[in-house]
Structure 1
Amino acid sequence: MTQDSSTYWKKSRVEVRAAGFDPDRAAQATAIVTIASAWTNAHRCNNRVRAITDLLVDLIAARGGQGLVVGAPAVSDALTQGTPTAGYSLVSRDVAADCFEIGHYAHHGDAMIVISGCDKTGAAALMPLARTNAFGLVLYPGTSSPGRVDFGPWARKGTNLTIMDWAEGRAAREAGRITAEEFDALERNVLPGSGTCGAMFTANTMSTIAEAIGMMLPHGASHPADRGAAGGIHEDVAAQARASVDALYRLMEQGIRPRDIMTERAFENAITTVYAMGGSTNMYLHLLAIAREAQVPIGIERIQAIGEKVPLLANLQPHGPYAMTSLHAIGGVPIVMKELLQAGFLHGDVMTVTGKTLAENLADVPTLDKLGQQDIVRPVKDPIAPANNHISVLKGNLAPESCLLKLSGKTLEKGVFRGTARVFDSEANAMKAIRAGEIVKGNVVVVRNVGPVGGPGMPEMVMLTIQLQGRGLGEDVALITDGRFSGVSHGILIGHISPEASKGGPIAAVRDGDAIVIDPKKRTLDLDVPDAEIARRMASWTAPDATRVRPGSVHHKYVRLVSSAHYGCIV
């Protein structure tokens, strides 16, 4: 679609006046800027977006422009995980992207500032920019400031507690491993204010991708949202908003559009950076979707090929002790990128929203040796974990297309995990078994029919992984699923199994007691059952009852259109 001229909005004097604008001033506006704003007061991740939106309107007006606000749903994974509505989270990514596209074109925008936030709005922020190629950039509302307590294993983390600590503490309380008083202290202290989940979970993974790909200003991926729930937005967020408006006008003056920035080499930079920082498995789904919008030929094996060469440098949760704001305090994502650039891992010549190249942006960023003693970011020569020890794409007779293994720097002790299948056709049934103590060392928990179609909406199995960690089973029990995982999740985890069970994938053939073999070095996931037996079992397979999805609903549309996780669950 060809970009409509903003003169259509400017000349609609009767509409402009009725909406409360001055038609004469509107006619002279230097630019009509779409402010893509996924605000809600329902949760901490995006409850600061309205204040940021109002600030942007004022800042754009000061430049002689007019900001027009476009809304979209902002779904909090923290509120939906483990509930019957969990399948709405991933679906919301594409709905939000569509909302921003519609609002931009329908209101004749010249440019776009997209405010991201919780997980799916992070991906949805980049998708319409790539799709429309309108002048624009991304602004992050910020991550949550961490908390602290003075007891148990959490005391060692200092002021770095995140929602992961509370969730694992809840599971530990259920298992009788901590007292009720200790759990209450965790609950009261873990989140002193608003913002997205505070470590290298999916929201911060996506903010990192936005910055590393060049579509967010430097230092924009790691700032805290506020200094407490009762106050306003953090001063670093306000400073980023001011700088972002200035940057937007420079982009328009210089004629630099998103697809000039979001090139194949820029995607390689983003993949490299997020691997070095220990990003979430959800990055695969979202990178594939964003690449499709940018018309960049990045597939799942290409992400694997880039990521497997990158050592783990950032000591952030879930694989380390630190929160994202600890990284921000020493310089943010540019500190990691400087180390990667110096080691030859990044393309320094790519353009960014500053109007400068990546190398120019990083020129004055201090090197690790100039930071002094710290263990938040490690050098390439002495990483937290060597390359190929974070997320890997696997295949095998259980995943003919692909699946993702998440280790987060933790290696399987013997290189290969062989376990006995415990099969569940829902997350709820798996949860009952774990809580009842029925899952023991050496089990492989198989959760199926929770994929993009089966879920529907591919919910996250994070509550199961938290239960396993909280009960001390994280290193001895594997979990495999055609669903997905939160960035909070850690352990021996395989998700995104494709094809999914509800589409006739061989995960539907697994039975209790079967042997399952995970080989990270060979990158395979196999059911140790003869091919003929798998074929015999699948011959009697029937698709799930379609009536479980209400006709005409969002899910009804989604299951008819969505691709497999192998292609990014695009619609």
Structure 2
Amino acid sequence: MSERKLRSEEWFARTGKDGFIYRAWMKNQGIPEHEFKSKPIIGICNTWSELTPCNAHFKELAQSVKNGIFEAGGFPVEFPVMSLGETLMKPTAMLFRNLVSMDVEESIRANPLDGIVLLCGCDKTTPALIMGACSVDIPTIVVSGGSMLTGKFRGKDIGTSDIWRFFADYQTGQMNDEDMYTAEACLARSQGHCAVMGTASSMACMVESLGLSLPQNAAIPAPDSRRKVLAHLSGNRIVEMIREDLKLSDILTRKAFENAITVNAAIGGSTNFIIHLLAIAARIGVDLTIDDFDTTGNQIPLLANLQPSGKYFMEDFFYAGGLPALMKELHEKLNSGIITVSGKPMAQNYENSECYNRDIITTLDKPFNQVAGITVLKGNLCKNGAVMKPSAASVHLLQHIGKAVVFENIEDFNKRINDPQLDVDENSVLVLKNVGPKGYPGMPEVGNMLIPKKLLDKGITDMVRISDGRMSGTGFGTVVLHISPEAAVGGTLAIVQDGDIIELDYRNRLLNVRLSDEEIASRKLNRADDAAIALRGYAHLYQTHVEQAHLGADLDFLKGNSGSKVLRDSH
């Protein structure tokens, strides 16, 4: 080790009563003194939980990290934080992202840790852990859990995006209960997160494109033994990072964020990427705005033929060369000289990679789709912005004018969407209110509203849908999301009524309701009060302090970082 004093020495190198207490209680686990007194202490932040199926294999993955840490001369200590299971948690895992970030931040700061390995996979665990670690800013590396193997159903490859197709077929009688039970047994056939380029895979790609993981972290399938090898090597590397004092703030520069935006466009990544990257940037102190996602990413075509924007699955993506192969195709668009956790410039992480399947990873001059990225819309319906994913939308709906069919909240939508008397046709615009950060609370993934059954029966599979909520990264369709300000805080969305004319103009980045400023102002004067605030607990804290979607929906008092110094030395 270098002469630089380790952070953990503030605990374990002390003499007298304080050192006695710190060392004695660690020794009750059978640990010899030299293991934690003379070596760097590496925290393994583990989001393992049987209630988070995507991360249920993390005990085994953590052992591979430990093996690497021991081999490199460090001492690993594994600790749990609250885990967010996207598939089970109500009302939405997003409500608790900021809470987990607080758990991570305080767990790191309060304990004798010199470096951190973040084990994350399911959608919200990745941004939550990175946000918390950014607020402490010590050497940190990320190990993602990997995607599950591609599902197999009656001779076809399937993944999470097929859930929406299956349910549409179920509504129209093309699938019955037995078909659905069979399909669900075929979908998630191994450990890991969603097999498509949903939010979890988008977050894994975000991590690698930011330079926070070793190469190939994004796409190695969870059951593949190479995932364990990567975890082992990450354990090796975090010990070296401590010796180099390579921190998150050294890696997460403005140029790193630009790289992540560019890559997310090229892979057809989730719209949720915006809200998470904005929150991470605010924690580390990089000035990033929602408009950067349009200006940086709007010239990047779709290079990855992956569901939901394309055909293939994450397992296929890895076999085709993975993210390094795709980033090599993007070389001229990337800030290739920035430092990464590997200790090397970004370009060296992908320069020796190769594409093995041009039907999955293509080139800049022959992309799968010229329309890619995440489009940021502005207009009188979304003064601070709204987002959509054009690569997953229907081309004929990207320029659209239609009458609003309004649902005041998700309960109203669920009650009336399949009412045969609902006044709706394929040209209508479905409008869902009060599913934003404050109004729901937590901003659930309900923005890709189901198509009314009577339209499905006519063969309609897409229509324009707008809301202040989010949608799953596995979803698709012509869906406008994250409208800001949200309805619950008095945004224009709150006063939209049935029959109002909505205009979506993708080409000019506009979303408007055809009402005069005077009419909008008049309706706002007569609107109901803002969302009811929960009376106690975390929900009260969240609703009182959550920022709007265009700022990342973090809590206002968590922006920035307060460093690694403990609040007070109590012994």
Unmatched 5+ residue regions in structure 2? 14-18, 556-571
Unmatched 5+ residue regions in structure 1? 227-233
1:362 equivalent to 2:371? Answer: no
Give the match for residue 71 of structure 1. Answer: 80
Sequence identity, in percent? Answer: 30
1:380 equivalent to 2:364? Answer: yes
Q: Secondary structure at the match of 1:401?
A: strand
The CA distance in 2 between the partners of 1:260 and 1:473, in whole Å, is: 53
CA contact (8 A) 1:402 1:498 kept: yes
Give the match for residue 173 of structure 1. Answer: 170
The CA distance in 2 between the partners of 1:431 and 1:138, in whole Å, is: 39
1:241 to partner: Cα distance: 0.9
1:474 to partner: Cα distance: 6.5
Q: Secondary structure at the match of 2:152?
A: coil
**How is 1:70-469 mapped onto 2 (pairs within 5 angstroms)?**
70-80=79-89, 85-87=90-92, 89-150=93-154, 155=155, 158-159=156-157, 161-226=158-223, 234-341=224-331, 344-366=332-354, 368=355, 371=356, 373-387=357-371, 389-413=372-396, 415-437=398-420, 438=422, 439-461=424-446, 464-465=449-450
The CA distance in 2 between the partners of 1:51 and 1:566, in whole Å, is: 38
Q: Secondary structure at the match of 1:413?
A: helix
The CA distance in 1 between the partners of 2:459 and 2:295, in whole Å, is: 31
- Which of 502, 506, 509 pairs up with 1:520? 506
The CA distance in 2 between the partners of 1:137 and 1:47, in whole Å, is: 20
4+ residue runs over 4 A deviation: 465-476
1:337-369 deviations in Å (ceiling 9; x for gaps): 00000xx11111111111111111222112x4x
The CA distance in 2 between the partners of 1:466 and 1:357, in whole Å, is: 47
The CA distance in 1 between the partners of 2:366 and 2:537, in whole Å, is: 51
Check 1:360–1:63 CA distance in 2 against 1; reply closer, same or farther (3 A cut).
closer
1:471 to partner: Cα distance: 6.5
Check 1:333–1:147 CA distance in 2 against 1; reply closer, same or farther (3 A cut).
same
CA contact (8 A) 1:74 1:92 kept: no
When structure 1 is superposed on structure 2, of 184-193 and 314-323 the one drifting more is 184-193
The CA distance in 2 between the partners of 1:309 and 1:484, in whole Å, is: 24
Q: Secondary structure at the match of 1:17?
A: helix
Count of residue pairs brought into register by the alignment: 541
Give the match for residue 51 of structure 1. Answer: 60
1:149 to partner: Cα distance: 2.2
CA contact (8 A) 1:199 1:316 kept: yes
Give the match for residue 527 of structure 2. Answer: 541
When structure 1 is superposed on structure 2, of 482-491 and 54-63 the one drifting more is 54-63
1:297-326 deviations in Å (ceiling 9; x for gaps): 111111211011110110111111211111
- Residue identity in the other structure for 1:7: E
Q: Secondary structure at the match of 1:297?
A: coil
1:95-152 deviations in Å (ceiling 9; x for gaps): 22221221112112100100111111111232233222211110001111111223xx
- Residue identity in the other structure for 1:363: E
CA contact (8 A) 2:447 2:480 kept: no
The CA distance in 2 between the partners of 1:286 and 1:135, in whole Å, is: 21
1:391-431 deviations in Å (ceiling 9; x for gaps): 21111111111111222254532651111111112223213
- Residue identity in the other structure for 2:374: I
1:36-68 deviations in Å (ceiling 9; x for gaps): 111111132111122222333343234332222
Q: Secondary structure at the match of 2:480?
A: strand
CA contact (8 A) 1:130 1:262 kept: no
Give the match for residue 40 of structure 2. Answer: 31
Check 1:117–1:414 CA distance in 2 against 1; reply closer, same or farther (3 A cut).
closer
Give the match for residue 231 of structure 1. Answer: none
When structure 1 is superposed on structure 2, of 309-318 and 475-484 the one drifting more is 475-484
Check 1:142–1:415 CA distance in 2 against 1; reply closer, same or farther (3 A cut).
closer
When structure 1 is superposed on structure 2, of 492-501 and 29-38 the one drifting more is 29-38
Query: TM-score of the superposition, structure 1-length normalised?
Result: 0.90
The CA distance in 2 between the partners of 1:183 and 1:199, in whole Å, is: 19
- Residue identity in the other structure for 1:477: M
